[in-house]
Amino acid sequence: MKNLFSTLLFIAVVSVTQAQIVKPVSWSFGVKKTSATEAVVMFKATIDNGWHIYSQHVKDGGPVKTSFTFKSSPDYTLIGSTTESKSITRREEAFHMDVSFFENKVIFQQKIRIKKRQMTVNGTLEYMTCNDHQCLPPEDIDFSVAVK
């Protein structure tokens, strides 16, 4: 009986622990060469139903905006700033302001000038995700995209 109780307690603790891990956003990365000297690095976020992530263009005092930091390299240079899909903008009472965000999926793109035939673009992206009831802490994701 004692072993049965211990087993049931263990299963309950594991179930509760696993239920608390929430990952409503998954990221994928890719690159598309547009010429021999230029390419576009793409960052796709697939967002679970009911959740959203924020635009790169959120005013101070609001949620953590999505941002990209590219590791410096002699192999490439950035062309312009990172672009994003069309966002939804509405007032969020939690922040007492209008904010721009994405639901379901979003694609961010960064043009680069290629200085080496084969190389890798490395960096980190930061984002925050919320639903109508809660916001998760901001998360940093390291990325590495091979350009061939």
The predicted-structure confidence for 6-53, as pLDDT tens digits, reads as follows 333 344 444 444 456 889 999 999 999 999 999 999 999 999 999 999
DSSP symbols for 67-95: EEEEPP-TTEEEEEEEEEPPPEEEEETTT
Q: Is 125 exposed, middle or buried (0-12, 13-18, 19+ CB in 10 A)?
A: buried
Domain boundaries, the chain: 25-147
Distance between first and last Cα of the chain: 62
CATH number of 25-147: 2.60.40.1250
The structure's pTM equals 0.84
- pLDDT, residue 81, reads 98
